[in-house]
Structure 1
Amino acid sequence: MRLRWKFFLILLGFALVPMLVLTHVNRRHVERLGQSIAAEGNAVISEVVKNELRQTAEDFSLVIRRSKSALDFSLSMTVAETERLLFAPPLPRQDQGGHETPSVGVHVPMGVRPDTVALSRLAGLAPTAGLLRHELDNTVLFVAVSLEDGISVAFPAREGLPPDYDPRQRPWYKAAKAAFDPKRPTAQEVVWNDPAVDPATGRLTLTLSRAVVGPGGRFVGVASLDVPLERVLQEQEIASQWSQAMRAYLAAPVRDPATGKRVLYVWARRDDDATARDWKSAVNFEPLTSSDAAGFDAMLAAMERDASGTAELPLNGVPSFWAYARLMRGASLVIVVPTSMLDPMAEQSRREILAATDQIVRLSGAVMAAALFAVALAAFFSTKAFVRPMVRMIEAWKRLGVGDFTVRLDERLSDERQALVDAFNETVPVLADHVRLQRSLELAQEVQQNLLPAAPPVLDGLDVAGTSISCDETGGDYFDYRVVSRGGAVCLDTAVGDVTGHGVPSALLMATARALLLATEDSETPAGRVRRANRLLCRDVGDSGRFMTLLAMEIRPGEGIARYVRAGHDPALCYDPARGVFEEWPGTGIPLGIDPDYAYTEYTMPFTAPGVVLVLGTDGIWEARNEAGDMYGKARFREVVAGASGLSAAGIVAAVLDDLVGFRGSRRQEDDVTLVVVKRL
């Protein structure tokens, strides 16, 4: 396949794959975004519903409080009218505004003789009862007055009262009587009693009662209003705004004496089975609770603290919204609506959002397809013009690869490819120079390696080994050892040196110093040889700032002594395996190449004990660092030498180098390493 078509297919692939991936990613992202928006919409709808439900609870709580105030006033007005009719002179009958006058129902318990005068006077309450029932929109089921002697009247008449009915035994009568305060006969309170079953109708009612006070502040009876429970809760009006599954309660947070836990005591609720109740039995509602104990406790705490609020808790296992608003005497109106009422709204919102996101995906897909077609056309017509210079560049690189440094490109392009052409033309001569320099360095490395000893000398009584490893192609470390005869004695002449820096300049200075030391080998003493080499080296290095440290030594095994000169170099280390002790041989002196007139001092140390190991090295060993930046150090160097002291001199050198490589790990060698070991046999 021709390069043009390959390039076309590559461009097409590079365009096609990202677009397909982008389309797929965009589709998934938009779908996820739609689902996220739908979920967020559900959360927003849920929050709106809770706020609306709370507002509904507040509104209906306000209505109920106003109804309560109206009922309290109505009962107080009934009591006042009853007291007037019973104990005040009769007044002329007044028109009650054309309202229907309810029938009068009289009840006298068995064995009680009725007071006909009182009954006649109480019948006069009919117009007032009719007015109250009309003004309260029939919220009041019965208006009644029950006297202490047992007789009672009700408006309208109660049909079907049980024969054993005695109002004086009803809880509402007893509560009003218990609340009667003879010290304050004109300031009696209206008592709201717990729900009860009306004995005449069987309906669940709330009864308001208040004491009737006679002359002298004596208790004579109780006036009462019976209100159907559903009218108090107004559940049908609330349900019409929400859901028929909605439930309304009058409840108060209390602490259950049996368990010690806080519960929501239901004071009033709508009960569809109320007609089946016995009128004598008390109406006991189950405490209102939730399976989410923590959330329920939090709501109870909020009800005691806040006037209104909302919560989201299950009721009888059904997830529900709860709203509450404070009503009276610690009680609150609680409205509970199943969260399932949101399902139709949430589903409609989800469908609309997903439809919109699907339309966005289809539109983006069409745009991607059009863009892909345009890219394909552009790639087809541009590949030929683009590939031609590339082919010529490839041919030029091939010629350069076989060593033709005369090749050049003469292309003249108007885009970034011209930078490639210019870079190629500039790189070729630089690359040629690098190749020449590399060849020169390889030659210098070969020459420097030839300057170092090829093999250790053989001398009775001594085992000698040494090595030098450069960190670059060439290095600045130097070592040498050879057998010489001086004064009729056979000697080992050895030296270790370290030129500042490394690389080609250091290698040149090392070669110069080696030549100078070899030129002075006939001098009488080591100190004389070093002084002469220093004087000649100072003349060569001048003001270059370069210098060389040196440890030059002459070992005479027959005499058992070592004579040496330290010129700024680290001291020689002598290890005695018999005693397990290292000894640094003393000595002072400045490096070579600094002061031409410096007088170097010669030192003499004994070297007779069998097995003694003498080590001469450069700082490239103990200053080496590992990957963590830790330094090798002389302590570790000594441990390795001591551990390998039983080996030959070459074995000791190998042990040090192996440990150094293992310590350094993957970190590059940063300085030249040189080591000479002389072991006494």
Structure 2
Amino acid sequence: MRFRWKLLFLLLIIAILPLIIGRSFGVRAVRNLGEELVSRQRRGLVSHMKNRMQILVDGYSAVLWRGRELSEMALRFQAQEVERILRLADAPVPEKIYFAEDFNQGQNVPADIIPSSFHFRARPEDKMELINVSYSSQVFSLAPGVEKEDVETDIARLSLMTPTYRTISEPLQGLIFWQKTVLKNGLHSAYPGHNGIPSKLDSRIQLWYMQALKDEHLWSDPFVDPETLQIVLALSKPVKGLNGNIAGVTSIVIPVSSLMDRKMLFKNIPPETQAFMGYLADEPDTGRKRIRILAREEHIDLTLRSWRTELSTEWLTSGNSAEFQAMVEDFSTGKNNARRMPFQERDSLWVYGATQTGAFLVLITPYKEFLAPARAAEEYSKGLIDNMISMTGYFGIGIILLVVVLAFLFARTVTRPISIMSEGAKNLADGKFDTRVEIKSRDEFGEMGRVFNSVGPQLLERSQMRQSLELARQVQQNLLPKSDPKVEGLDIAGTSIYCDQTGGDYYDFLDRGANKDARLTVVVGDVSDHGIPSALLMTTARALLRQRSFRKGSLKEIVSDVNLQLTRDTEESGQFMTLFYCEIDGHEKRIKWVRAGHDPAIIYSKTSDSFRVLLGQGIPLGIFGNADYEELQQPLEPGQIILIGTDGIWEARNAEGELFGKEAFQKIVRNNADAQAYRILMTVTDALDSFRYPLEQEDDVTLVVIKVEG
């Protein structure tokens, strides 16, 4: 692609990118603002609805609590009076006794009987039938198989309860349906007197009666009222007769509609709110604590149902088990609270509060019902954003067209100098370092041309320097041993790997004349730093060592003489060289060495699995001309491995800055002790490369491995 088009694209990017970024940030800012406003409104609506429902639950719970206390107190008084009446030895026979048949047939009924708008029952085709009631009398009925003569005495006694029933019912009108007393002998009395009692009704087998006798619970589970066919609860208590034994049960029957007052509960809250009353109970199958529904909104519906219908046990459930379990804990501690969790697969707000001992009122409202204003605001915000996107899109198209024209015109003034320099660069690439370009402008292109004209001579100089370095590298490589020597009784391998084209590490194998076939002199040195200066000093030291080693003298004398000569060359430069000089006899199995500041050589014995270092006194060469050196020796054993290296091995670092270390080095030697010297050498260098990857080598690496054979 030509530069003119690249420049055109660049100018387009420069012009369009800020527009796109600004547009993106603007749209994002507006979106964020809209989302923040909607989020705040949503949080406000949730908080407002939560507080409103919590206040409603708390207030309604308090009302129910007071109603519960009043009802339970009334029941206790009623039970006390029933027991007192039943203990009477003799009771006067009332002038008039009304039975269920009288009320049902409408004959022989009290004078004050009237239809009650509070007492009614459902009929087919959604019709309602008002029940006739009399507040001046009770109504008696007998269970199937019971004769009047058998219960006349108890009828006379219970007839005395009418004034007590009236006294109790007056403050509770509009809250309770009936006040009943059912005896074990099958006698059933109810106040106020009313019609609608089924002819085959035996209250002794009804849920509330059996629960009261079984565990003396005051509050029964919901059941169908035989007279009104509505869902009711019974507040019941066993009563004792003349002999002190349980004679029956007296109760106050309360419709669920009295507990779940829709007008009061659902005022100013969403219409889809569902109301429940529940309590903690053990689930039969699992034994776990669950929330059993005592009453629910559906229980107040006027549904045509049979009074023999047994209501199934219902449990409150939610898809969020963790939140629901926390709600169960709140129930167990009597804590009023509000939680967010799904109900019937709809995200909902649950608000609950204690209404009586063990019972809670629960209101459940789908979130979407009270978040409608927030959704409307969100739609409005999206409309504004869409309009803004359209406007900025038209504006952007106009900017793009303008930039295309300007960029095309401007590109021509820029591409000519670039073409000139491109042609000059091709000449430089072909090796024509005397190439020059002429750009007469006084702007950056003119400056670029002047810089370009200075590049040729510099490239020529660097090319010559590179050739010199390559020659120096070849010369230095020629100074190192070209192959490993063959010495009887010894397996030898050595290498030097430089980090630059030239280096300061050095190793050599010297032939000192006597017993050539079984004796070997090994020299390993390390010049401070690396590069050309180090390579020059290494070359000088090599020449001095080779020249002095072929003359007579001990190892100590050889090293001292070389140090004296080398110091004269390095006293002004500050350079020095560490050295390990040793002589190994393959026949006599003995090593002699001098150590001049170099890392000690290492001997590994496989038989004892131990490492030993060859120490010795002596400072590096090139520091003090009169330095004294110590010559040491020790016997060798077949199978031992002698390792002489430079610090570039154990001081190598990886990408994490960790050192390779001598422990890793020794581990490699131990694991490869049975291998040949060359294989040990290659294993070490390969391990160094793997350890250091992907970093480049920072220091020269030299290693000589000598394995003593049997």
Unpaired runs of 5+ residues, structure 1, are 79-101, 177-190, 211-221, 645-651
Q: Equivalent residues in 2 for 1:66-465 (5 A)?
A: 106=137, 158=194, 229-239=256-266, 241-242=268-269, 246-255=273-282, 260-262=287-289, 264=291, 270-273=299-302, 276-278=305-307, 286-290=313-317, 296-306=324-334, 308-311=336-339, 321-337=349-365, 341=369, 348=376, 351-366=379-394, 368-373=396-401, 375-401=403-429, 402-404=431-433, 407=436, 431-449=459-477
Distance in 1 (CA, whole Å) between partners of 2:438 and 2:373 is 72
Distance in 1 (CA, whole Å) between partners of 2:704 and 2:204 is 123
* CA pair 427-637 structure 1, distance change in 2 beyond 3 A: farther
Distance in 1 (CA, whole Å) between partners of 2:50 and 2:388 is 33
Residue 358 (structure 1) shift: 3.3
* CA pair 441-236 structure 1, distance change in 2 beyond 3 A: same
Distance in 1 (CA, whole Å) between partners of 2:589 and 2:206 is 132
Unpaired runs of 5+ residues, structure 2, are 79-132, 141-147, 213-217, 238-248
1:545 aligned partner: 574
Distance in 1 (CA, whole Å) between partners of 2:3 and 2:191 is 110
- What amino acid is aligned across from residue 380 of structure 1 in structure 2? F
- DSSP 3-state at the match of 1:327: strand
Residue 662 (structure 1) shift: 1.6
The answer to whether the Cα contact below 8 Å between 2:601 and 2:645 also exists between their aligned partners in 1 is: no
- DSSP 3-state at the match of 2:316: coil
1:55 aligned partner: 55
Give 1:500's match in structure 2, choosing from 516, 527, 530. Answer: 527
The answer to whether the Cα contact below 8 Å between 1:143 and 1:225 also exists between their aligned partners in 2 is: yes
- What amino acid is aligned across from residue 317 of structure 2 in structure 1? S
TM-score with structure 1 length normalisation? 0.61
- What amino acid is aligned across from residue 309 of structure 1 in structure 2? N
Distance in 1 (CA, whole Å) between partners of 2:452 and 2:512 is 58
Distance in 2 (CA, whole Å) between partners of 1:680 and 1:165 is 115
The answer to whether the Cα contact below 8 Å between 1:467 and 1:674 also exists between their aligned partners in 2 is: yes
Distance in 2 (CA, whole Å) between partners of 1:287 and 1:3 is 79
Q: Deviations over 1:625-662 (max 9, x none)?
A: 47563246478569879743xxxxxxx6x556533432
Distance in 2 (CA, whole Å) between partners of 1:661 and 1:440 is 28
TM-score with structure 2 length normalisation? 0.59
The answer to whether the Cα contact below 8 Å between 2:603 and 2:643 also exists between their aligned partners in 1 is: no
2:244 aligned partner: none
The answer to whether the Cα contact below 8 Å between 2:341 and 2:350 also exists between their aligned partners in 1 is: yes
Structure 1, 581-590 or 531-540: larger mean CA deviation: 581-590
2:686 aligned partner: 662
The answer to whether the Cα contact below 8 Å between 1:493 and 1:554 also exists between their aligned partners in 2 is: yes
The answer to whether the Cα contact below 8 Å between 1:534 and 1:592 also exists between their aligned partners in 2 is: yes
Tell me the C-alpha RMSD between the 2 structures.
7.1
- What amino acid is aligned across from residue 660 of structure 2 in structure 1? D
Q: Deviations over 1:81-135 (max 9, x none)?
A: xxxxxxxxxxxxxxxxxxxxx987556768889x9xxx9xx99x99x999989xx
Distance in 1 (CA, whole Å) between partners of 2:61 and 2:532 is 99
* CA pair 204-675 structure 1, distance change in 2 beyond 3 A: closer
- What amino acid is aligned across from residue 546 of structure 1 in structure 2? Q
The answer to whether the Cα contact below 8 Å between 1:496 and 1:552 also exists between their aligned partners in 2 is: yes
Q: Deviations over 1:175-209 (max 9, x none)?
A: 99xxxxxxxxxxxxxx9998887787666677999
Distance in 1 (CA, whole Å) between partners of 2:75 and 2:582 is 129
Residue 252 (structure 1) shift: 3.9
Structure 1, 576-585 or 200-209: larger mean CA deviation: 576-585
Residue 234 (structure 1) shift: 1.7
Residue 540 (structure 1) shift: 3.4
* CA pair 411-676 structure 1, distance change in 2 beyond 3 A: farther
Alignment of 1:473 with 2:497, yes or no, is no
Distance in 2 (CA, whole Å) between partners of 1:57 and 1:621 is 81
- What amino acid is aligned across from residue 234 of structure 1 in structure 2? D
Distance in 1 (CA, whole Å) between partners of 2:210 and 2:58 is 33
Residue 331 (structure 1) shift: 3.7
- What amino acid is aligned across from residue 507 of structure 1 in structure 2? A
The answer to whether the Cα contact below 8 Å between 1:476 and 1:509 also exists between their aligned partners in 2 is: yes
